[in-house]
Amino acid sequence: MSSVSWSKKNTKMVCQHLECRESEDNNQHHFVKSKFPLLNWKLDCNGSEISQCSMTSATHGQQDSAVSIICNTGFWFLEGNSTCEGRVKSETDGYWQSITDERAAEVCTRNLCGGVLSLKRNNSNVNSSVCPENATSPFNCSMKNTTTPTEPQFAYVKCSGSREVRLENRCYGKVLVCSDENCGVCQDTWKEEQSIMLCNILGCGTVIGETYSGKKKPGVTVASVHCSKEAKNFSQCNFLQLKDSSLCQNPAYVSCTASIKAVLQDPRDECAGNVKLFYSGAWHPLCSNNIDENTQNAICSNLNCGEALSFNEYISSTSNVLGLKSLTCQDG
């Protein structure tokens, strides 16, 4: 459906029809582009049910976008020491005290964690066996309730798989969600705050905002990553698998500040020569007009070459060389 003439009331009606609570603001979310053409229809909903809505023909322009909706329901993740094991938590309802086999399987699937390996439901009435130290037979043991009525109990799920969100080259490269290099995330849906979180988790500083300029490889298996509003790591995120590879072929790439490194190119002296900087996935020469003394000293210090003694323009055998026009180093 085209977003032209689409109302908030229509969105609310769809969420209610799907039994997915209320609609949420989706301005910050991106979705994989649909392979289907936009329908030249307008939806008018005046009643309280979607069955009471009517469709009328409408004319749309080429710049029209498709309607995208997010309903406030069903966001679950596992909170624990492992990305694929822990207490089941809902962003809207808190920790779950009970869970069905089907829902546990869905939690594992949403976290790309395989199937359910074990499941502990609300066990407030579970008894355990208590035996004296000198017991020689099970008949010497007694049963004792291990919990109290006031002690909170939570559903606990352990999935069969494991998942790690990482970068292809530690602090830069393709975003990967498995051990091989084919499980990339769709570039169209990956968000800057997820790049910031990933760089922080990896201990790689912060994200470099410029477009990634290194070599890129194909391979996308994850359509989108949806995280809790207060997520601090990717265990608090759901992963939507890409079922049709034709919908997204460009994987997300991220470069963190810890990947930046310098080199001086002169075969006669390792502490002198043309400056090149590895920045945003590729090597670039530095333009001379915006490199201050602090930056010169930072480069020399990074190469264990003391402080800068002199600085001249870049010497190149070609007249047209594309380089970084400015570089600013933080104090310290």
Q: What is the CATH number of the domain that holds 147?
A: 3.10.250
**Are 111 and 155 in a shared domain?**
yes
**Are 43 and 119 in a shared domain?**
no
In terms of residue numbers, what domain contains 286? 260-331
Domain boundary among 125, 143, 159: 159
**Are 182 and 214 in a shared domain?**
yes
Measure the CA–CA gap between 90 and 163, rounded to whole angstroms.
20
**87, pLDDT greater than 80:** yes
Pairing label, strands 184-185, 220-227: parallel
**Are 34 and 80 in a shared domain?**
no
Reduced 3-state DSSP string for the chain: CECCCCCHHHHHHHHHHCCCCCEECCCCCCCCCCCCCCCCEEEECCCCCHHHCEEEECCCCCCCCECCCEECCCCEEEEEEECCEEEEEECCCEECCCCCHHHHHHHHHHCCCCCEEEEECCCCCCEEEECCCCCCCHHHCEEEECCCCCCCCCCEEEECCCCCCEECCCCEEEEECCCCCCCEEECCCCCHHHHHHHHHHCCCCCECCCCCCCCCCCCEEEEEEEECCCCCCHHHEEEEECCCHHHCCCECEEEEHHHCEEEEECCCCCCCCEEEEEECCEEEEECHHHCCHHHHHHHHHHCCCCCCCCCCCCCCCCCCCCCECCCCCCCC
3 assigned to some structural domain: no
pLDDT value, residue 319: 47
pTM of the complete model: 0.70
282 assigned to some structural domain: yes
**Residue 184 CB neighbour total at 10 angstroms:** 27
pLDDT value, residue 137: 44
pLDDT band at 259 (very low <50, low <70, confident <90, very high): very high
**Are 252 and 183 in a shared domain?**
yes
**60, pLDDT greater than 90:** no
**Are 184 and 250 in a shared domain?**
yes
Measure the CA–CA gap between 290 and 292, rounded to whole angstroms.
6
pLDDT value, residue 255: 95
Q: Which two tokens stand for residue 187?
A: 């570039």
**Are 137 and 85 in a shared domain?**
yes
187 assigned to some structural domain: yes
Question: Length of the chain in residues, anyone?
Answer: 332
Domain boundary among 159, 189, 216: 159
**Are 80 and 65 in a shared domain?**
no
Q: What is the pLDDT of residues 289-309, one digit of tens each?
A: 667 788 788 888 888 888 887
2 assigned to some structural domain: no
pLDDT value, residue 21: 66
Domain boundary among 114, 135, 159: 159
1 assigned to some structural domain: no
Q: What is the CATH number of the domain that holds 222?
A: 3.10.250.10
Q: What is the pLDDT of residues 139-176, one digit of tens each?
A: 445 545 544 444 557 889 999 988 889 999 999 999 99
92 assigned to some structural domain: yes
90: CB partners within 8 A, 6+ apart: 75, 76, 96
54 assigned to some structural domain: yes
266 assigned to some structural domain: yes
Q: What is the pLDDT of residues 112-138, one digit of tens each?
A: 888 999 988 765 444 434 445 554 444
**Are 183 and 251 in a shared domain?**
yes
**Are 52 and 128 in a shared domain?**
no
Q: What is the pLDDT of residues 6-20, one digit of tens each?
A: 777 787 878 877 777
pLDDT value, residue 290: 64
Mean pLDDT of all residues belonging to the chain: 77
Measure the CA–CA gap between 252 and 260, rounded to whole angstroms.
19
pLDDT band at 29 (very low <50, low <70, confident <90, very high): low
**31, pLDDT greater than 70:** no
* Number of domains the chain is built from: 4
pLDDT band at 42 (very low <50, low <70, confident <90, very high): confident
**Are 38 and 85 in a shared domain?**
no
**Are 204 and 122 in a shared domain?**
no
Apex CA 310: angle with CA 306 and CA 313, to 5°? 125
Give 301's Cβ-side CA count (13 Å radius): 10
Does residue 251 or residue 312 have the better pLDDT? 251
pLDDT value, residue 329: 54
